[in-house]
Structure 1
Amino acid sequence: MLMDCLAVLRAAHQPERAAQFGMKEFRQGLRGPLGPLLPPASGRSDRFDSMRLFDAQGLVRDAVQDLCSEHLVPQVALEQYWPWARVRAEQEEQHLFDLMRRLAPEDYRRARVLLGTHAAGPVRELRRQWDRLWMRFDFFESVADWPWCQVDGWWYPCPVCRWPMRAARSGAQFDVRCEAHAPRGVHYQYTPSKGPGPGELTGTGKAAVAVTPLPASSDHLTVSRPVWRYGTLPVLLELQLRNELVGLPFVELEMWPGEQRPDEYDLHITVAVPGKRTRHWRVDAKAWESVVALGKALTARPALRKGLTIVLPDHQYSERYFLAAQVHDRGVKVTTVSRLANRVKAACGAPR
């Protein structure tokens, strides 16, 4: 596998540069950020240069799978870590919403909210919350089948998205963190218990609030990783934006508008201040690991609404420029949650 990867890497470089790569240099390079291994590329605004494939324990990082699916990179070795089939992320996203489009508009909007608020938990609670929608979807999986999130027979839901956090051994302890929300400070340290029951989970980040351990049993379910990445996380961005703007003067909010294509955009914001021009934002939230792959997926769409505003998580603030350049000729703008919220507040005269 290493020889195959080295051959691909050498083929990507100019011949004089490729000649410098041997197996020893390649193996050493894999231990650090990818930048020194990659060929120079002008205008690349993705995080590949500084990205590390492996964590401190030598395990493949969660984000690698997202990048592989978004860029459609076949990698046999990754099957050891993620045995389910991977397809292009845009296809997975479309499959999810193809299922949801079959719902009545009211049920569609309820399912979107549930993806963000009840993506994992005890099966009894999930059945109660999803109610009549429960049997319409097949994207829930058992936490008992996910050893990477278990420690001493317990799992910990992220306090933001409720999805299982990854537990990685660090000496005698475990690092427990949410891959998506670790940049916001959702990470912990777990110390095993000397007796029965779960050990002690100590917050090590600013957003590491108290989390209740749950048994890693077959009666605890969670949405699949693709549904979490391309269904749950965007909904959380939409709800975050809505919660920041609800109740502001002269602001009207409509979640998932439209009857024929309710997923054309996620949030319609209208600011109608008397005596001023009415402002509109039609928002589509995206939570992709790679803005390069996202840009390619968006430009490949035959129908992309003109005037659309793509909203990214705040931690992708610096990457919005690259995506904006990719979709500029389609009449689409790109910003982050906080920047758009401040823009709307300024339009309606509310303090930021």
Structure 2
Amino acid sequence: MLSTEERLCRRDKVVTAAIRAGYAWAAFDAEKDAWQELARMAGVVMNACGPAQGPRTSSTLISSLSRPLRQMAPGLFEDDPVGDLTVCSPDTSDDGVQLSDDVFEYGCEHIVDLLEGEAGYRHNGWMPSWAWMRAEMVENRAFQTLDQGTTDQEYTAHRRFVIENPAGVRQRLAADFSDVRGDKRQVRYGLIPPERTFEGAFWWPCPVCRWPMRVQDTEVHCQYAPHNAFYYIRAARQRGTPMLQPRDGAVPRQPKTQRFRSEGPDQTVCVEEGVWRYIVVPGISEVRLFDRLARLDSRGVEVDLWPSKDTYDLTVRIPALGWMKHLDLKDVTHAKHLAERIAAKPPAAPTLVIPDHRGEAQRRKLDDLLNPRHRYEVIMADDVLKEVRRRLRKVKNA
């Protein structure tokens, strides 16, 4: 019988291999090495599932990708919510397949390095970094060489710039970044991928994360489902420019249509997918909470964003009271998986903050999973504001 640690290790190998196989299958017609990748991932799945378990060939692995993962390896997923993940879904634009949005929402949370030690293999140029690199690896690769020898303030300015400007016109991004950082060492931006443009001439940023949304026939949506950005392209145009229509009343107002240019000074670019998923998406909640706290500055609050180059997400202080709190924001789909990550790698901050959009139910569940075994305070983002305001009233009444 497998120990819990071994089962989780094998589970994450199956999740990662299935996602990589799904990417290879979706790119099969365009990438000559896709079948080799599928064969490698079939071997990983067979090894992780154990004797006489799971798909036995590349072809059976492919057929399994359109079904929940728990059907592939029941013993590894049990009551685990990631077992509901279906890796591939039909691509309505060309009768092919594509990675499901669930892959980007919570499948990415389980990515592990499967082929460590195979020099050069991972860097084959077509397998995206998020499909084989953990979140901290993507972050380190994005910022390490760019921020060596820089101050905390320069690191924070660089990271915030990327979160707030994940896409745009290359020349303008370079100029704006130079104004912020005073130099040109910047996270790499590449041309917006074809599947995120319409008619090779237009693109739309997600209204939440501002990264280019995926275009499929007449549908446009952000692949990170919690952003709730799903639109249809209108049949009628405004002065020759295509316009969007929200799927329903809960979807944010349609973003402005942007021109796409592949060459010249107005070339339109975006950060790579791994940087978007692992730096931009979680960073939105961190920046949002920082800004809400920073607005209390005139009342005696001091707040630092990613102090000591991301040792903490936030540090908030009220000097008049001698009070300080370190915060670590955790925007993860399932509380059970978040508890696993915390147990494996305890955060530096004793206070864990759950973004408000995850809801009180997730906070309570995480608190139950972590305590009393681990001594963490688990609160919502709104709770941080409430506590700071309550303490400010003490300063005022003193």
Q: Deviations for 1:126-157, whole angstroms, at most 9, x for unmatched residues?
A: 123212535112411122xx112111121111
Higher relative contact order, structure no. (Cα contacts within 8 Å, ≥ 6 residues apart): 1
Q: Deviations for 1:280-300, whole angstroms, at most 9, x for unmatched residues?
A: 431233556787887676666
2:357 pairs with 301, 314, 318, which one?
A: 314
Q: Which amino acid aligns with 1:64?
A: V
Two-structure CA RMSD over aligned residues (Å): 4.5
Cα drift, residue 125 of structure 1: 2.6
Match of residue 190 from structure 1: 233
Gaps of 5+ in 1: none
Q: Deviations for 1:254-298, whole angstroms, at most 9, x for unmatched residues?
A: 12264xx23211212246898xxx764312335567878876766
Match of residue 137 from structure 1: 186
Is contact 1:283–1:311 with CA below 8 Å preserved after alignment? Answer: no
Following the alignment from structure 2 to structure 1, what is the Cα–Cα distance between the partners of residues 222 and 350? 33
TM superposition score normalised by structure 2: 0.65
Is contact 2:231–2:246 with CA below 8 Å preserved after alignment? Answer: yes
Following the alignment from structure 1 to structure 2, what is the Cα–Cα distance between the partners of residues 150 and 177? 12
SS for the counterpart of 1:234 is helix
SS for the counterpart of 1:55 is strand
SS for the counterpart of 2:285 is helix
Which protein has the bigger helix share? 2
Cα drift, residue 237 of structure 1: 0.9
Match of residue 91 from structure 1: 137
Following the alignment from structure 1 to structure 2, what is the Cα–Cα distance between the partners of residues 19 and 217? 45
Q: Deviations for 1:14-55, whole angstroms, at most 9, x for unmatched residues?
A: 767x3898999866643233233333458965x412222123
Alignment of 1:3-18 (within 5 A): 8-9=44-45, 11-13=47-49, 18=53
Q: Which amino acid aligns with 2:83?
A: D
Q: Specify whether residues 186 and 348 from structure 1 end up closer, same or farther in structure 2 by C-alpha distance, changes over 3 A only.
A: farther
Q: Deviations for 1:106-139, whole angstroms, at most 9, x for unmatched residues?
A: 3233223212222211123312321253511241
TM superposition score normalised by structure 1: 0.72
Alignment of 1:288-327 (within 5 A): 304-305=347-348, 307-309=350-352, 311=354, 314-315=357-358, 321=365, 325=369
Is 2:111 the counterpart of 1:70?
Answer: yes
Alignment of 1:215-226 (within 5 A): 215-218=259-262, 219-226=267-274
2:314 pairs with 267, 274, 289, which one?
A: 267
Cα drift, residue 164 of structure 1: 0.8
Q: Deviations for 1:59-92, whole angstroms, at most 9, x for unmatched residues?
A: 1235537628832246x99x89745684333222
Match of residue 161 from structure 1: 209
Following the alignment from structure 2 to structure 1, what is the Cα–Cα distance between the partners of residues 376 and 69? 31
Q: Specify whether residues 207 and 62 from structure 1 end up closer, same or farther in structure 2 by C-alpha distance, changes over 3 A only.
A: closer
Q: Specify whether residues 69 and 122 from structure 1 end up closer, same or farther in structure 2 by C-alpha distance, changes over 3 A only.
A: farther
Q: Specify whether residues 262 and 22 from structure 1 end up closer, same or farther in structure 2 by C-alpha distance, changes over 3 A only.
A: closer
Gaps of 5+ in 2: 1-34, 92-96, 116-120
Count of aligned positions: 333
Q: Matched residues, percent identical?
A: 20
Match of residue 176 from structure 1: 220
Match of residue 34 from structure 1: 69
